[in-house]
Structure 1
Amino acid sequence: MVSVMNSIDTAHEDMIHDAQLDYYGTKLATCSSDRSIKVFDVKGGQQRLITDLRGHEGPVWQLAWAHPMYGNLIASCGYDRKVIIWKETNSTWGKLYEYSNHDSSVNSVCFAPHELGLVLACGSSDGSVSVLSSTGDGSWDAKKIKNAHTIGCNAVSWAPALSPNALFEQTGRPSLVKKLVSGGCDNLVKIWREEDGEWIEEQKLEGHSDWVRDVAWAPSIGLPKSIIASCSQDCRVLIWTNDGTSNNWSSSVLNKFKDVVWHLSWSITGNILAVSGGDNKVSLWKETLEGQWTCISDVKKGQGQVTESQSQVSRNL
């Protein structure tokens, strides 16, 4: 059974929508409907507020930490249609870049694997996905996948930079892969690939019967296959698998839950999936040698209640 090691009083004045640990697990960033982002030092079981960032004009939905090779960087997105990238310089946090070219709420942000450079994907209720790339001179290049999902895009997640077969290829240095997956209000999961500087739809995965709330591409663990998890308002989590020999993806149902499933998060090794949802529970799932997914632990209501607004599982599980 997973136990709650530490409870952190964030002092937010409204619902918390996301909580993300940094790469090393020593800093925690939280965001809220109170329009603020707070960063805490959480080393040694203690908490210390480092900064309170204010720049959004509405609820802040999601956060993402960049890889530490780029310094301390946090991306945030919100109901105000904005994406803001924050940077710590000489122990002081400030706004590095603001992107406001969406026509509706921005629901999801995710930094690409560090091998691909400083690149951020953003999914919006206007149905589009934006990909922001740092040019290195202080400016950012923005490309938009228009009409990625009808009605709206709820989640984005990057593929590992190295293809699953990279360790098995004998063709010299493996090439980097620039792909991402998105989930939307059209009940679809879509895979996108950059080709000649443009983003094209590589695959459309149909399996959910209601809005897809989150998608998570598993880190590469050296196996010759790709794995994506998706969750939905249909109360199901689907596991999508591609063996690398073709463009065909197969799906299996990890579990049918009693309530909406809001968020997913893979362990850093990609073999354990955390699931959180409207059943006030965070559960951990692992695939058996026979290919079946089993629940290995969970946090139930009473041990540490998880609500819709607080159910984002840290990407650094």
Structure 2
Amino acid sequence: SFYLPQVCSIAWNCCEQNAGPVIPLLLSSHVLCNFHDSYFILMGSLCIIDNSTETELVSGASDKKLILWEWNGTGVWNDQLVKSVPLEGHTEAVCAVDAIYQSDEPDLNLLIASAASDSTVRIWSRHNSEVKCIEVLQFGNGFVMGVSLSFLPGSNAFWRCVSMKKTIQIKHLSILLCAKRTSEFCKFSNEDFFSSFLVPILACGGDDCKINLFIQQNGQFQKTVILPGHEDWIRGVEWAICGDDLFLASCAQDCLIRIWKVCSKSKQFSEIEDDTIRLKENVFTVKDTDTTYAITLESVLAGHENWVYAVHWQPSFSKGGSMQQPMRILSASMDKTVIIWEPDKESGVWLEQVRVGEVGGNTLGFFDCQFSPDGSMIIAHAFHGAFHLWKQASVNKKEWTPEVVISGHFNSVEDVQWDPEGEFIISVGSDQTTRLFAPWKRKHETQVTWHEIARPQVHGYDMRCLAMIGRFQFVSGADEKVLRVFCAPKNFIENFSNITGIPMEKLCSHQSSDLPEGATVPALGLSNKAVFEGDISAQVAEDEETFNTISNQYPEIYFQPLILTEPPQEDHLLQNTLWPEIQKL
């Protein structure tokens, strides 16, 4: 299928099989579109949860439901109601979800938090294959747009197993639960443990510009701390455990990212008063553990120039028998950029390390982003449903290059036609685009995959119909009630030959010798105008002379011919793959 609904969230993780390599797993709203009831499916987010034996996923959608998914071990997400799915209770669209394991045993103690447009956050608990809503947090007339669950530092310090011949102390169980169980681990029952317990902490960010922290005490989540600072709606929050400290990253529409630090604080230290200048602390005590915690603002990151929609920590990894949390975060913004942030090794100040993004018109920035499990790749998705993938260079670690990624319509496909020779497909959709898909045949490799290699028409009306009238000619119709005829330009035919491996002699046997190089759309027009080689050279010569007036700073000719050997990225598809219009009917 070439229909990809508008992406609202992505999740990326590793599924470790018992035998074989680590398999990167990328999921988006598209995967689950057939199993929720609504048309535009995942208004909220996807949350992949790891434990020792399986990978699970929780999805929330505009059909007001949550679904708990289970990896069935065959590479396909199981659509059957495994254990307790779906989870119903919200009265409006679900917009955010997160989950954590409270035990390393399958089917035991999964804690889920979901936020919806009904101004509530629901807490769900799974125990022995039964899932139920255990609490509803009311937010009045406000909306929560980001939730994140974790455990307080120190609350999971010591669990003791007394059913064995010797006592085993397990530190930082919340991190350990994400690791793969090995043969050295034994199965523990609930009766095997005593001395301590996990204390969940929930962060909620919403339209009140504040982060509300809830601590579970006596079986109920109680609002403990309110963190002010952001000056606009908070779009995302996420916890990360680093050593004995807990870090929270938050992003908002004020274009800023804030990093908060939670650490345990001894009573003796808290009673000391002197003239030392310290950061303002939010102090609270957990009655169940009689432990005092302090929350301080670690850093404020200013680098984006528009709303920041997402912020995520790089996933933790196993090293030397323990889980390590890299101090790196990834942020996505409507300013069309994605930034990797890291603290400076000497000063500890958080700095921008890498900035990637998209250029050109007809784009509206990024909605979400994710690190790959090992941090060597980052992926983001844009307003029009497009994925963007970058990979870190093996030599220069600060160099990130764009990679080939899947693409397709972000609204319903209305018509599709085969090329008369059966070598490519053209489709039109109500996303107002015409897209061309062809096989990518790599040199010296047998693998062949289909990709979008051109976007001949980017219209202003929803597309309705399509017909091929020649080898590289088609006619399309839209809601404007006008039929338009298009012919492939020279640059497309050259790139089509390079990508598909079809000789140019075969492709150009019936083509005119005076084909245009490409096409462009005027700023306020709907017709693709042909661009010839002379137009390109003349435009380059006039650039420096005409740039001094505001009216000439945005020329109508955006097309730049490029020779491709692999499927193009999104910014190239938008501007350099248009076909000229040769006739209106």
Letter in 2 for 1:109: V
CA distance in structure 2 between the aligned counterparts of 1:149 and 1:193, rounded to whole angstroms = 20
1:145–1:112: structure 2 CA closer, same or farther, 3 Å change rule?
A: same
Alpha-carbon distance, 1:83 to partner = 0.9
CA distance in structure 2 between the aligned counterparts of 1:187 and 1:161, rounded to whole angstroms = 23
Aligned to 1:119: 111
Identity of aligned residues (%): 20
Q: How many residues align?
A: 284
Aligned to 1:250: 296
Aligned to 2:185: none
TM-score for the superposition, normalised by structure 2: 0.45
Asked whether the equivalents of residues 208 and 234 of structure 1 are also in contact (C-alpha less than 8 Å), the reply is yes
Say yes or no: does 1:14 pair with 2:5.
Answer: yes
CA distance in structure 2 between the aligned counterparts of 1:192 and 1:204, rounded to whole angstroms = 9
Aligned to 2:384: none
For structure 1, list consecutive stretches of 5 or more residues without a partner in the other structure: 1-9, 39-51
1:100–1:175: structure 2 CA closer, same or farther, 3 Å change rule?
A: closer
Asked whether the equivalents of residues 336 and 359 of structure 2 are also in contact (C-alpha less than 8 Å), the reply is no
For residues 62-81 of structure 1, the aligned pairs below 5 Å read 62-69=45-52, 71-81=54-64
Asked whether the equivalents of residues 230 and 264 of structure 1 are also in contact (C-alpha less than 8 Å), the reply is yes
Aligned to 2:94: 106
Question: In structure 1, the residue corresponding to 2:369 is in which secondary structure?
Answer: coil
Within the candidate set 43, 47, 54, 2:35 is matched to 54
CA distance in structure 2 between the aligned counterparts of 1:112 and 1:130, rounded to whole angstroms = 14
Aligned to 1:194: 216
**Most deviating of 57-66 and 247-256:** 247-256
Within the candidate set 139, 147, 151, 2:138 is matched to 147
Question: In structure 2, the residue corresponding to 1:190 is in which secondary structure?
Answer: strand
CA distance in structure 2 between the aligned counterparts of 1:186 and 1:127, rounded to whole angstroms = 12
Asked whether the equivalents of residues 156 and 198 of structure 2 are also in contact (C-alpha less than 8 Å), the reply is no
Aligned to 1:271: 327
For residues 125-144 of structure 1, the aligned pairs below 5 Å read 125-136=117-128, 138-144=129-135
CA distance in structure 1 between the aligned counterparts of 2:12 and 2:257, rounded to whole angstroms = 24
Asked whether the equivalents of residues 163 and 177 of structure 1 are also in contact (C-alpha less than 8 Å), the reply is no
Within the candidate set 292, 300, 303, 2:357 is matched to 300
CA distance in structure 1 between the aligned counterparts of 2:333 and 2:199, rounded to whole angstroms = 31
For structure 2, list consecutive stretches of 5 or more residues without a partner in the other structure: 16-22, 158-170, 173-193, 266-282, 285-293, 317-324, 376-585
**Most deviating of 249-258 and 155-164:** 155-164
Asked whether the equivalents of residues 20 and 315 of structure 1 are also in contact (C-alpha less than 8 Å), the reply is no
**Most deviating of 225-234 and 20-29:** 20-29
RMSD between superposed Cα atoms in Å: 3.0
Within the candidate set 244, 249, 263, 1:229 is matched to 249
Question: In structure 2, the residue corresponding to 1:159 is in which secondary structure?
Answer: strand
Between structures 1 and 2, the one with greater helix share:
2
CA distance in structure 1 between the aligned counterparts of 2:68 and 2:198, rounded to whole angstroms = 25
CA distance in structure 2 between the aligned counterparts of 1:290 and 1:241, rounded to whole angstroms = 17
Question: In structure 2, the residue corresponding to 1:37 is in which secondary structure?
Answer: helix
Asked whether the equivalents of residues 216 and 264 of structure 1 are also in contact (C-alpha less than 8 Å), the reply is yes
Question: In structure 2, the residue corresponding to 1:20 is in which secondary structure?
Answer: strand
1:55–1:190: structure 2 CA closer, same or farther, 3 Å change rule?
A: same
CA distance in structure 1 between the aligned counterparts of 2:140 and 2:206, rounded to whole angstroms = 6
Alpha-carbon distance, 1:315 to partner = 8.1
TM-score for the superposition, normalised by structure 1: 0.79
Aligned to 1:281: 337
CA distance in structure 1 between the aligned counterparts of 2:253 and 2:133, rounded to whole angstroms = 31
Asked whether the equivalents of residues 76 and 85 of structure 1 are also in contact (C-alpha less than 8 Å), the reply is yes
Question: In structure 1, the residue corresponding to 2:208 is in which secondary structure?
Answer: coil
Alpha-carbon distance, 1:111 to partner = 1.5
Question: In structure 2, the residue corresponding to 1:17 is in which secondary structure?
Answer: coil
Letter in 2 for 1:236: L
Aligned to 2:203: 181
Aligned to 2:276: none
1:227–1:151: structure 2 CA closer, same or farther, 3 Å change rule?
A: same
Asked whether the equivalents of residues 57 and 68 of structure 2 are also in contact (C-alpha less than 8 Å), the reply is yes
Larger gyration radius, structure 1 or structure 2: 2
Instruction: For CA contacts below 8 A with separation 6 or more, give which structure has more relative contact order.
Output: 1
Cα displacement string for residues 110-162 of structure 1 (whole angstroms, at most 9, x for unaligned residues): 111454832211112222211211121x3212123322474211011112465
1:20–1:149: structure 2 CA closer, same or farther, 3 Å change rule?
A: farther
Letter in 2 for 1:230: S
For residues 26-45 of structure 1, the aligned pairs below 5 Å read 26-31=24-29, 36-37=30-31
